[in-house]
């Protein structure tokens, strides 16, 4: 198959680039090894849109973070992404040098982050009564925000799909080689020929780059472990609470999520195994004492799940974005660690412009700029909800009792563009199974719905593709 652009990776970066390119008249595809979009780093991170004060001025991280943050107000409306500017604080405790806050404030100014200022303890406590007793001051960034990373990725991907980008899921890139047309991408399924390759392969982006370029990259998987707390704990803090980096490390954050939970993490450990998304006792145990440095009485007993994500850390420290010097037509979006999610819209724009120029692409007239997300009936009045149920009774049938998710929302998740085919796919789209019972009650019911609607056999239903099946047979027949 011949393409103008083939994007490797359907995480938030690949999807943002795909959406940007779908504004043009271009034959573009996204190749993803997993069964769904948003299955790697994009699904397991802090779910933060950073204000942009952290990165060193002049770096791509600084520039694209601030730009990405700016873009989110409009994007969240256009693409119906759950997004909230809750503000962020970087807190300094009495044992730390407050000069660190001044340095951050200077960086904020240099990076063009608006309205940052340093607050004293009294002002802070009025905002955040649960800050630790040791907190003496903090940098306040009102543009700091939280987002649903699943919906952000899916919004980009669905919108790209609706504008003509093809998605090849369950397709694992095995090798990239130079070819007459540009590049040949060999996968476990078909072979793709393309003029331009976009390498948005997360922790594997070094391997693909190194197959075609002599400017070698080295990506280290830096594991971050998190604990997600029950919605009862969601109001423990209002803003995202970061810690002033110290010799002991960057610290952990305590933040509400857009869905109303409380998130604590991440730890940081460089690991060898790029598939190593297991959590460890040691690091989970460390989250209590670490979070207590900035926020007191974090109700860790209300944990509902823990998870680990891998940051794609490039050894030189900055994002690697752009055409490889010695491999024309091979564009990297590599080393996308924090603030990668925040920068994703800007990375899409930045690379999209580059590729459009390279291929002399023309904007298409019928680009559909908006996408409607899965309806959240929580936001409806009782009258509106009843009208909805009358039209589609499935919205009256609650499947996930913890998150109060109806069958209507699950049907939407399955039947929309790039719809869910697994329990995790349903979960990321609707939150069914993401609540306090962690799918104990709803998984058999969600499986029935998947089996009926896709349709598929019960023993074909997976948690997240591959061999992750739930059912091994029928009674007395395994």
Active site residues: 50
Using CB under 8 A, pick the residue from 277, 291, 338, 343 that binds other proteins: 277
Q: Is residue 382 at the binding interface for other proteins, with CB under 8 A as the rule?
A: yes
Least separation, in Å, of the C-beta of 133 and other proteins?
Answer: 24
Cβ contact 394:407 at 8 Å: yes
Before 266, cis peptide (omega within 30)?
yes
Which residue matches tokens 């011949």?
Answer: 2
Nearer to other proteins, 95 or 281 (CB): 281
Distance CA 164, CA 441 (A): 38
CA torsion angle for 85, 86, 87, 93 (degrees, to 10)? -160
Strands (E), 40-86: 48-49, 83-84
**478 lies in the binding site for other proteins (CB under 8 A):** yes
Q: Among 25, 84, 401, 454, indicate the residue that binds other proteins (CB under 8 A).
A: 401
Which residues in 120-149 contact other proteins (CB under 8 A)? none
The reply to whether 452 sits near other proteins by the rule CB under 8 A is no
Stretch that binds other proteins, among 145-153, 194-202, 305-313, 326-334 (CB under 8 A): 305-313
**Closer of 63 and 463 to other proteins (Cβ):** 463
CB of 393 to other proteins, least distance (A): 4
Sheet containing 145-147: give its strands across: 48-49, 145-147, 83-84
C-alpha–C-alpha distance, residues 46 and 225, integer Å: 10
Six-digit token string for 59: 């770096």
Distance CA(14)–CA(396), nearest Å, equals 36
95: number of Cβ within 10 Å: 9
Pick between residue 284 and residue 356 the one whose CB is nearest to other proteins: 284
303 binds other proteins (CB under 8 A): yes
Instruction: Indicate whether 227 belongs to the interface with other proteins (CB under 8 A).
Output: yes
Residue 378 DSSP SS3: helix
CB 403 within 8 A of CB 434: yes
Instruction: Answer yes or no whether residue 95 interacts with other proteins by CB under 8 A.
Output: no
Question: Least distance (Å) from other proteins to the CB of residue 50?
Answer: 26
Contact between 476 and other proteins by CB under 8 A: the answer reads: yes
Interface stretch with other proteins, choices 120-128, 241-249, 354-362, 396-404 (CB under 8 A): 396-404
Closest to other proteins by CB, 58 or 440: 440
Binding of other proteins at residue 379 (CB under 8 A)?
no
- Please state, in angstroms and rounded to a whole number, the distance separating the CA atoms of residues 233 and 252: 17
- Which residues contribute to the site for other proteins (CB under 8 A)? 227-228, 232, 275, 277-281, 284, 303-307, 382, 385-386, 389-390, 393-394, 396-398, 401-402, 404, 436-441, 443-444, 458-459, 462-478
């Amino acid at each position: 198959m011949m393409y103008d652009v083939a994007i490797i990776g359907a995480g938030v970066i690949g999807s943002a680039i795909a959406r940007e390119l779908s504004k043009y008249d271009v034959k573009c595809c996204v190749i993803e090894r997993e069964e769904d979009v948003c299955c790697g780093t994009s699904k397991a991170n802090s779910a933060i849109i950073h204000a942009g004060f952290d990165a060193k001025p002049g770096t791509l991280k600084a520039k694209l973070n601030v730009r990405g943050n700016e873009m989110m107000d409009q994007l969240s409306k256009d693409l119906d992404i759950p997004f909230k500017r809750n503000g962020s604080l970087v807190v300094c405790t009495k044992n730390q040098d407050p000069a660190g806050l001044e340095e951050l404030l200077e960086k904020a100014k240099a990076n063009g982050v608006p309205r940052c200022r340093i607050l004293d303890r009294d002002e802070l406590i009025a905002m955040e009564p649960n800050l630790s007793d040791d907190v003496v001051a903090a940098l306040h960034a009102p543009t700091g925000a939280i987002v649903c990373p699943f919906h952000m990725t899916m919004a980009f991907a669905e919108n790209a799909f609706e504008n003509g980008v093809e998605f090849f899921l369950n397709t694992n890139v095995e090798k990239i080689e130079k070819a007459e047309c540009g590049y040949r991408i060999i996968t476990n399924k078909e072979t793709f020929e393309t003029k331009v390759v976009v390498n948005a392969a997360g922790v594997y982006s070094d391997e693909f780059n190194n197959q075609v370029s002599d400017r070698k990259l080295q990506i280290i998987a830096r594991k971050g472990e998190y604990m997600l707390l029950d919605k009862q704990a969601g109001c423990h803090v209002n803003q995202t609470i970061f810690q002033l980096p110290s010799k002991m490390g960057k610290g952990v954050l305590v933040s509400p999520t857009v869905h109303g939970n409380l998130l604590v993490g991440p730890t940081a450990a460089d690991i060898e195994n790029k598939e190593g998304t297991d959590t460890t006792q040691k690091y989970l145990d460390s989250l209590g004492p670490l979070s207590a440095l900035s926020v007191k009485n974090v109700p860790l007993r209300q944990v509902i799940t823990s998870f680990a994500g891998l940051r794609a850390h490039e050894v030189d420290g900055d994002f690697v974005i752009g055409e490889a010097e010695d491999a024309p037509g091979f564009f990297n979006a590599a080393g996308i660690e924090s603030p990668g999610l925040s920068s994703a819209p800007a990375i899409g724009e930045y690379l999209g412009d580059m590729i459009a120029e390279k291929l002399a692409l023309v904007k298409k007239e019928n680009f559909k700029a908006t996408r409607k997300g899965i309806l959240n009936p929580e936001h409806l009045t009782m009258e509106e909800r009843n009208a909805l149920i009358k039209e589609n009774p499935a919205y009256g049938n609650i499947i996930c009792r913890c998150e109060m998710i109806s069958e209507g929302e699950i049907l939407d998740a399955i039947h929309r563009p790039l719809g869910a085919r697994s329990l995790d796919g349903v979960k990321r789209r609707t939150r069914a199974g993401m609540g306090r019972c962690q799918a104990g009650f709803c998984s058999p019911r969600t499986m029935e719905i998947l089996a009926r609607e896709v349709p598929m056999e019960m023993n074909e239903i997976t948690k997240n593709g591959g061999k992750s099946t739930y059912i091994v047979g029928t009674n007395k027949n395994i």
